[in-house]
Structure 1
Amino acid sequence: MTGQDLKQALAAFLSESEIVADGQPFLIDQRRRYTGKADAVVQPDSVEKVQALMRFCFEHGIAVTPQGGNTGLCGAAVPDGGVLLNLSRLNRIRSVDLADNAITVDAGAVLQNVQQAAAAAGRLFPLSLASEGSCQIGGNIACNAGGLNVLRYGTMRDLVLGLEVVLPDGGLMSHLQPLHKNTTGYDLRHLFIGSEGTLGIITGATLKLFAQPQTTETAWVGVETIEQAVRLLTLMQGRFAERLCSFELVSRFALTLSSAFSRLSVPVEAEWHVLLDLTDSVARDDLGELLAEFLFECGFENAVLAQSETERLNLWTLRENISASQRQLGASIKHDIAVPIARVAEFVDRCAPALQAAFADIQIVVFGHLGDGSLHYNTFLPEVLGNEVYQYEDAVNALVYEHVLACGGTIAAEHGIGQVKNQWLPRVRSEAEIALMRAVKAQLDPHNILNANKLLP
């Protein structure tokens, strides 16, 4: 079926405005690394139309690639023919239920809009990402997003109470009731969380809400080693328990880049830096004093505590602008990894020399969520500024992942696998696990039409 024939067939159940005239902008990923192709780009405005589309594509064996805000970093939302299904028009906030502390939204709802809807109801939706102004809830669920607050609230998997999913054959699985307990057999929602659009089209979700913090204290602490940062984390958890909300690690090089880009001073001089937040759902005026006393007593005196909201925001700007600031170094080979927290220092200390021995001028930007063991480990080859750097990706990845796996870690902590890392999946999943994944895929999607060649090797 030609592209024109396909569009004419889709017009039987989609309006003219739902079939995108110029789909080219949807075919390029955020990093401009991949440019896909599609016979049609569609934006249905109802779940029923998504079902009709999937029934048609299932019957005719037409590939479908689901896409949300297209902010992914692994190429999972880039099509290779067939239909690109963009969910941006499914963007309603369906309901807020304060008794159950839950919000039900369409999959195309932008994360920031969900945060604002929760705040308007006096609640907090805690998922927080750099791309929250454009990423969408369906994509967050599909890659099991984490972000800044995993330490206290968990990943997206921990925040989903219920899902609505259109299956590859057009059937609908809908369990959006805000049930906090349900032991009736297999909890199938967890199949779709982290499945990267390979098993079904997420069209709606019921999400957990929390009390809004009434007190927030923010500190920037300089340390000389990662081991010291881990010691601080351990002590903080013992003293402040669940009030410790965020615990970020930043290397000196990453901070230098962000400071220049943000036009903000470096808070303290040190080899490594920790940015942490304490929050409390009860208003209290002693938390900052307790934090300052604790840092002094434990020997972490090279620290700055935010004395105003402006100072707090400036500290977080330094953390959040690292990704933007490193673009001056050129295209990067990114790694979204995690290792046990106790072995983060071991990984960093061993991996960097191995990379420098193979690539003499390599630059490494290290930052991330030490509180949950995940790091953004980005590598740059100064003489190769454009996308041609990806010719070295296999060699760089082999060294990085060798050290990640030696430390008992994972090659994907929150960005997913997509098409960038699927060849590495057998290194972190056993043959039996991959066979089971393939069996689930074959049962739900026997014609392999849904996001084929993504995630699975």
Structure 2
Amino acid sequence: MPHTIHLARFQQILTPDEILTDNLLIEPFCTDQRGRYHGQAFAVLQPHTVSAVEEIMRYCHQQHIPVTPQGGNTGLCGGATPHASVAGKGIILSLSKLNRMRKLNLADNTITVEAGMILAEVQKIAQTANRYFPLSLASEGSCQIGGNIACNAGGLNVVRYGTMRDLVLGLEYVLSDGELVSHLYPLHKNTSGYEMRQQIIGSEGTLAIITAATLKLFAPPQSVLTTWIGVDNIHAATSLLAALKNHFAERLSSFELISQAALSLSASYSHLREPTHASWHILVELSDSLPAQNLTDPLISVLEQGNWLNTVIAQSETERQHLWSLRENISAAQRSLGASIKHDIVVPIQHVADFVENCQQQLIKTFPQTKTILFGHLGDGSLHYNVFIADIMNNDVYQYEENINKVVYEQVLNYHGSIAAEHGIGQLKNQWLPRVRSNAEIKWMQAQKHNLDPEGILNPGKVLPVHT
């Protein structure tokens, strides 16, 4: 059926400002933020209402029109870019205009928001209500809640608060045939059968269109202590993590690992001095919801007992922000090295040090012209392992990706890790899925996909291997 007929139907559902068909306007939606993937769509639809999403999906299901859901388009795995297999045949369904707060419930400590709300806006609303929403990402000024849920985002505070999967209490979504499933009531306990919500979270738009969510809120931290610690090696860092967890329990909010190479780049980019001189660096944040808690003396006691003395403790909010800037600016700072082959990986914390050492040896042995910028959330074992190739500044670097991935991912698998920690699979890593999931698990995923999306119109070419 010609696209003009489809567009005529969409024009019956949506207002003119909710439909984009001009190629110049569509192009930004068809390109991922790294410029890695360039998809094609005959229209971008931006509905303001959930009922419109239902009608769009009902029609797309009937007409077998591929649908690529999209939030803030900040993903790094091509999950929100139309796959080459459906080039020009489908639509992009942007949830950006579905961005209202529906309810703030202080009795249950929850906030219900629509999928297109920016993460930073949720944080701001919570703060205004003297509450705290703990998900914190470098892209929080542009990423959207629906995308955060679809990828099960992690971020800086996973040690204490968990991933997005732990922060979603209720979910509303539209299935591929247009049926609405809405369970937004803040039930803290519900054991009535299988939990479909958890299946949708982390499914990257391949099972349903997320339209709203009820999120957990927390008491805001009133006592915060931030410190930067230099260590000789990652073994020392994991020992420090164990000591802090044992002493401070849930007061340990963040535990970030930063290589010296990553710090040097960020310090230069941020125009800030390096807090410590060491091979590796740890950024630790402790917090308590009670005011005026003395966290400094207990921390110093733990550091002295373990001989972790290469330490800078923030004495003011300005100093704290400087330390966090050094961590958060790494992603932007490393762009000066050109395009990179990124790895969002996770291994058991006890194996992180051995993994990094052995992976680096294998990588240099096979590709001596590479440079690695490593940083990440050691508190939960996840790392951003970014590989640059000397003298290649543009996307030509990706010609080496398959072979470099083999080196890195084989080492990840040797230590019983995973190739995706918090960025998802998308279309970047789906060919590796059979290496990290068993046949039984993949068959289960395929069964759920077929059950919820029998026509295969939801985000084709993502997560599951394409040949399946």
Q: What is the TM-score with the length of structure 2 in the denominator?
A: 0.97
Aligned-residue offset at 1:289: 2.6
Give the structure 2 partner of residue 452 of structure 1.
460
User: In structure 1, what is the Cα distance between the partners aligned to 2:79 and 2:330?
Assistant: 24
Letter in 2 for 1:217: L
Give the structure 2 partner of residue 30 of structure 1.
33
- Percent identity reads 59
Structure 1 unmatched runs, 5+: none
Give the structure 2 partner of residue 414 of structure 1.
422
**Partner deviation per Cα, 1:436-455 (whole Å, 9 max, x = no partner):** 10111001111100001100
Of the three residues 316, 331, 344, the one matched with 2:339 is 331
Of the three residues 55, 59, 66, the one matched with 1:63 is 66
How many residue pairs align between the two structures? 457
Q: Quick check: 1:273 aligned with 2:281?
A: yes
User: In structure 2, what is the Cα distance between the partners aligned to 1:144 and 1:282?
Assistant: 29
User: In structure 2, what is the Cα distance between the partners aligned to 1:345 and 1:412?
Assistant: 18
Secondary structure of 1:75's match?
coil
**Partner deviation per Cα, 1:94-146 (whole Å, 9 max, x = no partner):** 11101001000000000000001111111000000000000000000000000
| Segment of structure 1 superposing worse, 7-16 or 200-209 | 7-16
Of the three residues 170, 177, 191, the one matched with 1:162 is 170
Q: Quick check: 1:76 aligned with 2:79?
A: yes
Of the three residues 289, 292, 305, the one matched with 1:297 is 305
Secondary structure of 1:211's match?
coil
User: In structure 2, what is the Cα distance between the partners aligned to 1:4 and 1:390?
Assistant: 37
| Segment of structure 1 superposing worse, 130-139 or 72-81 | 72-81
Q: Quick check: 1:92 aligned with 2:100?
A: yes
User: In structure 2, what is the Cα distance between the partners aligned to 1:70 and 1:47?
Assistant: 20
Contact 2:224/2:286 (<8 A) preserved: yes
Give the structure 2 partner of residue 16 of structure 1.
16
Letter in 2 for 1:4: T
Secondary structure of 1:8's match?
helix
Mapping 1:235-384, distance limit 5 Å: 235-384=243-392
User: In structure 1, what is the Cα distance between the partners aligned to 2:330 and 2:392?
Assistant: 20
Aligned-residue offset at 1:358: 1.2
User: In structure 2, what is the Cα distance between the partners aligned to 1:32 and 1:381?
Assistant: 18
Of the three residues 392, 400, 408, the one matched with 2:408 is 400
Q: Quick check: 1:390 aligned with 2:417?
A: no
User: In structure 2, what is the Cα distance between the partners aligned to 1:165 and 1:401?
Assistant: 34
Aligned-residue offset at 1:290: 2.3
User: In structure 1, what is the Cα distance between the partners aligned to 2:404 and 2:5?
Assistant: 44
Of the three residues 114, 117, 120, the one matched with 1:106 is 114
User: In structure 2, what is the Cα distance between the partners aligned to 1:96 and 1:46?
Assistant: 19
**Partner deviation per Cα, 1:137-168 (whole Å, 9 max, x = no partner):** 00000000000000000000000001000000
Contact 2:359/2:407 (<8 A) preserved: yes
Secondary structure of 2:13's match?
coil
Secondary structure of 1:135's match?
coil
Give the structure 1 partner of residue 149 of structure 2.
141
Mapping 1:192-271, distance limit 5 Å: 192-271=200-279
Structure 2 unmatched runs, 5+: none
Letter in 2 for 1:7: L
Contact 2:116/2:146 (<8 A) preserved: yes
User: In structure 2, what is the Cα distance between the partners aligned to 1:9 and 1:169?
Assistant: 16
Aligned-residue offset at 1:384: 1.6
Contact 1:93/1:117 (<8 A) preserved: no
**Partner deviation per Cα, 1:243-266 (whole Å, 9 max, x = no partner):** 000000000000010011101000
Contact 2:243/2:302 (<8 A) preserved: no
Secondary structure of 1:377's match?
strand
User: In structure 1, what is the Cα distance between the partners aligned to 2:13 and 2:240?
Assistant: 58
User: In structure 2, what is the Cα distance between the partners aligned to 1:147 and 1:428?
Assistant: 22
Contact 2:113/2:213 (<8 A) preserved: yes
Aligned-residue offset at 1:91: 0.4
User: In structure 2, what is the Cα distance between the partners aligned to 1:408 and 1:62?
Assistant: 39
User: In structure 2, what is the Cα distance between the partners aligned to 1:383 and 1:302?
Assistant: 35
Aligned-residue offset at 1:285: 4.6
User: In structure 2, what is the Cα distance between the partners aligned to 1:288 and 1:111?
Assistant: 31
Q: What is the TM-score with the length of structure 1 in the denominator?
A: 0.99
